[in-house]
Structure 1
């Protein structure tokens, strides 16, 4: 897949109907030979749209006008490229907890949560957020996570979490203004509600920080999993993480996680974590597959705004 293909796929699958600004930018980059040539000087994993757009937003650059964006990137490319080489798309979307909640609440309680690719660990607090599934409210407090749930009843209560830990190659700290600024820059420009949600979720995490370790999802996972309390159900989970992992390491991780005690909850692009048979996804945008112990359960939208359970 060429870099132009990557940007067109992002426009069609992820940004269309979700972020008009990013759809416009992606299509503009895909037909701009100069910008494509600049992007092709980066390693393949560093050419992705979310990373480019996030770095531009972090630097205060324009993302609402393709011509102004092009001029900004062309003029500032050395610094933009340097930032893209050292940063990663560590979008820490607390809203994904709304799609995970029906699975987590149904497991034997209490839970010991271990998130792979945890970023700043905001998805490690499903027991602290409130959820709104249509007219059904689960829990209280802030933030309130909205999700359209189809094919399954909303859970009656939030899970009980007695231990929470995360593993990441570059863990972020929500109490660090620079790390929080990067998380903010990764939120799409029109999504004010997600920006407000980030601040509320960061306040939750900052008041009771999780155990976040720098490490590899294969080499360091067993030792961290062994630290979970024995009287809790271990749940290793991840959302929109494996696309950043090379295929060989991805295969090693999926082989390893199946040997650990407890359960494995994955919320990933089916092109990255394939399943043998899946129903057709709902219309209207890109969907991940939510799976428990390798068994696919539902289609989910990327930011947790909807989940459609399989029949």
Structure 2
């Protein structure tokens, strides 16, 4: 659902996306099907690099220019009348969905680690997922209170033996890495994050806005950098004596397999705990659990499958 598979045609990628999102966002499912059958839109996409053809990016760029989620007719009109503008936005922007709800699926894994924790998130965007200890949580009646009473309450349905904590862990240092960090205080950056949301998901928009206000109060540091070249340099700033956790959600799907392998080796060299929350198959054959097609898999240290998770944090199913 995240990336653009190079071994598939653009039309096939859009049809695959349509099937994956049909239940969650029928509007974007129908739009993706329309794109797959539209030679004019496919022609525009053919002029773009492979990693710039993905539905999430095209639809967000169109929404950015239109001021509303695109429909088949409005997207066709945009391609015919403002192709240059649309291309410019697609080339300049990236899919940087910063879904704070993912912290609800990350928290049980973090709570099992030796405290205090230091957090280093790769692909941190605006840093909203660097604040798991500030948010509060509701796991279908099991409440965990965060350190910021004004932060949103993240709701998640647990399935299986989820090790739900009674409190949030102690975090003594946090930092993020992103090739193009977003500023939580910049209106245009916040607008782009909203453009990445899908039609019919009003609760996500409310959660995003509340998380942005939380981040504006706490200002997590997100460094501009590369996940390979700068990982060690930034990790070196973490205080000694704490458990360093390197984590990411829906990030490695956007980089080549060779980079994924090098990244795994770099994390192991740090001696950090590695939590990967990605689509099945992204980090290797270890992800053999029977998980829904539209889910992520939470894996520790590249080999221990912990849970399948909703991409937006709405539910998680624990396996061990």
Which TM-score band applies after superposition, normalised by the shorter structure? Answer: over 0.9
Q: Which residue of 2 aligns with 1:198?
A: 208
Q: Which residue of 2 aligns with 1:148?
A: 157
**Runs (4+) of structure 1 moved beyond 6 Å?**
none
Is the CA contact 1:63–1:69 (under 8 Å) kept in the aligned structure 2?
Answer: no
Q: Which residue of 2 aligns with 1:228?
A: 238
Distance 1:277 1:171, change over 3 A: closer
Residues 16-165 of structure 1 mapped to structure 2, 5 A cutoff: 16-63=22-69, 65-140=71-146, 141=149, 142-151=151-160, 152-165=162-175
Match of 1:262 among 247, 252, 272: 272
Deviation at 1:279, TM superposition (A): 2.2
Structure 1: gaps of 5 or more residues: none
Structure 2: gaps of 5 or more residues: 1-7
Q: Which residue of 2 aligns with 1:280?
A: 290
Q: Could you state the TM-score of these two structures normalised by the residue count of structure 2? A: 0.93
Superposition RMSD on alpha carbons, in Å? Answer: 1.4
Distance 1:147 1:169, change over 3 A: same
Q: SS where residue 162 of structure 1 aligns?
A: strand
Whole-Å separation in 2 of the counterparts to 1:262 and 1:63 = 40
Match of 1:242 among 241, 244, 252: 252
Deviations 1:186-220 (A, max 9, x none): 11121111111111111111112112111110111
Whole-Å separation in 2 of the counterparts to 1:272 and 1:76 = 35
Is the CA contact 1:110–1:159 (under 8 Å) kept in the aligned structure 2?
Answer: yes
Whole-Å separation in 2 of the counterparts to 1:199 and 1:276 = 36
Number of matched residues?
A: 308
Q: Could you state the TM-score of these two structures normalised by the residue count of structure 1? A: 0.95
Is the CA contact 1:62–1:68 (under 8 Å) kept in the aligned structure 2?
Answer: no
Q: SS where residue 120 of structure 2 aligns?
A: strand
Q: Which residue of 1 aligns with 2:317?
A: 308
